[in-house]
Amino acid sequence: MNFLITTKDRNARRGLLATSRGTINTPAFMPVGTLGTVKAMSPDEMKEIGAEIILGNTYHLYLRPGTNVIEQLGGLHSFMNWDLPMLTDSGGFQVFSLSPLRKIREDGVEFRSHIDGSLHFIGPAEAMKIQGILGSDVAMVFDECIPYPADHEYAARSIDLTTSWARTCKGNQNPGQALFAIIQGGMYKDLRRKSAEDLLDIGFDGYAVGGVSVGEPKGEMHEIIDFSAPLLPEDKPRYLMGIGDFGDMLKAVEAGFDMFDCIMPTRNARNGTLFTSLGRISIKREEFKCDDGPLDPHCGCYTCRNYSRGYLRHLFLSREILSMRLNTYHNLYFYLDFFRKMRASIETGTFQSFKREWENIPF
């Protein structure tokens, strides 16, 4: 994996992340394909809208269909027919957010499946083994994601555990697979700094900031974003995990982050909430009943070129499958197009005016 920054506009970075399966333009948005599919979208459609990398969830795939099945069917790329780059998370976040019961040990976490209650164990070595079988292009270290709020003492112990797990992951790195570390430390700047320093000492292909957007006020989140970016090496990709709000992403790109992932465009699409150049729209509203205009007059996607708001409202209220497909197509196109425009603004040195323009849209 090779990362090159081609242009900077203050701290905002325009870059190219080259992998053996393709090059990713950064800043990049990674649509989430939790269970080996970006819900409602085919791989061809993902390519059509310009997705260059997607994310797979280790925890979910490990439980269903199970690592053995994916291994027998040739790895995740082959299983789901996606031949472009893919990043897998380590399962850490889901173990901590979804499992009804979990016991943290020095060597990993014992947890119960949220599906059938069965008992499992994943530690750093297991997370690397699973991600090796999945065959993603970028793997993430196994980390503990602490709740908000957490006291300083707990957060301090937790980053030491995460660092020790990261060291084990590095020792078990799969050939041909890049490995990113995850900076933790809650809302404590001294711990964020220590976490970054300890992980940089080990040395990784890229660095992520985790444990944000876990319930803290926006102001605190933005402080951690601004504080964390300069702690990370200039020449490695920086990934802010789980952030998909436009204002937050603009703030993070301004601080120097390069990669993002979020379920916001896909989950909202299925719930009838659509992002447009005029703001956020709930398609079920009465006012759209006889509206023959496109969902977003400034969007060039298949949905906006071919269907009226009135029709999209009807599909949604009738719970038609096409509703999820057309809505998801638009929302993902809108996100990827936002990133295309943001990259262009960095190239032309106009990121600040781009940011102001987008901050005025009522999302």
The DSSP line for 261-302 is: EESHHHHHHHTTEEEETTEEEETTSGGGTT--SBS-TT--SH
Angle, nearest 10°, between helix axes 124-134 and 152-171?
Answer: 50
Q: Say whether residue 309 binds Zn ion (CB under 5 A).
A: no
Q: Say whether residue 41 binds Zn ion (CB under 5 A).
A: no
**Residue closer to Zn ion, measured from CB, 142 or 334:** 334
Largest CA distance in the chain: 61
Binding span for Zn ion by CB under 5 A among 56-64, 120-128, 240-248, 293-301: 293-301
Q: Say whether residue 332 binds Zn ion (CB under 5 A).
A: no
CB of 50 to Zn ion, least distance (A): 13
137 catalytically annotated: no
CA distance 140 to 94: 13
Residue 282 near residue 264 (C-beta atoms within 8 A): no
CB of 355 to Zn ion, least distance (A): 22
CA distance 54 to 317: 30
The DSSP line for 78-144 is: HHHT--S-EEE--SHHHHHHH-SSEEEETTEEEEE-TTT--EEEE-HHHHHHHHHHHT-SEEE----
160 catalytically annotated: no
**Residue closer to Zn ion, measured from CB, 300 or 362:** 300
Residue 261 near residue 279 (C-beta atoms within 8 A): no
Binding span for Zn ion by CB under 5 A among 16-24, 245-253, 303-311, 339-347: 303-311
Task: Identify the residue among 313, 330, 343, 355 touching Zn ion (CB under 5 A).
Answer: 330
Residues within window 94-153 making contact with Zn ion, judged by CB under 5 A: none
Task: Identify the residue among 304, 312, 326, 342 touching Zn ion (CB under 5 A).
Answer: 304
CB of 262 to Zn ion, least distance (A): 18
Quote the tokens at residue 355.
């940011």
Give 351: exposed, middle or buried? Use CB within 10 Å, 0-12, 13-18, 19+: buried
**Residue closer to Zn ion, measured from CB, 62 or 335:** 335
Task: Identify the residue among 54, 145, 249, 301 touching Zn ion (CB under 5 A).
Answer: 301
**Residue closer to Zn ion, measured from CB, 277 or 352:** 277
What is the residue whose two structure tokens read 């299983």? 79
CB of 337 to Zn ion, least distance (A): 8
CB of 336 to Zn ion, least distance (A): 11
**Residue closer to Zn ion, measured from CB, 88 or 303:** 303
**Residue closer to Zn ion, measured from CB, 169 or 312:** 312
CA distance 252 to 259: 9
The active-site residue, picked from 143, 261, 296, 337, is 261
The active-site residue, picked from 89, 248, 258, 296, is 89
Q: Say whether residue 299 binds Zn ion (CB under 5 A).
A: yes
Residues within window 210-239 making contact with Zn ion, judged by CB under 5 A: none
Residue 69 near residue 133 (C-beta atoms within 8 A): no
Q: Say whether residue 12 binds Zn ion (CB under 5 A).
A: no
Return residues touching Zn ion (CB under 5 A): 299, 301, 303-304, 330
Active site residues: 89, 261
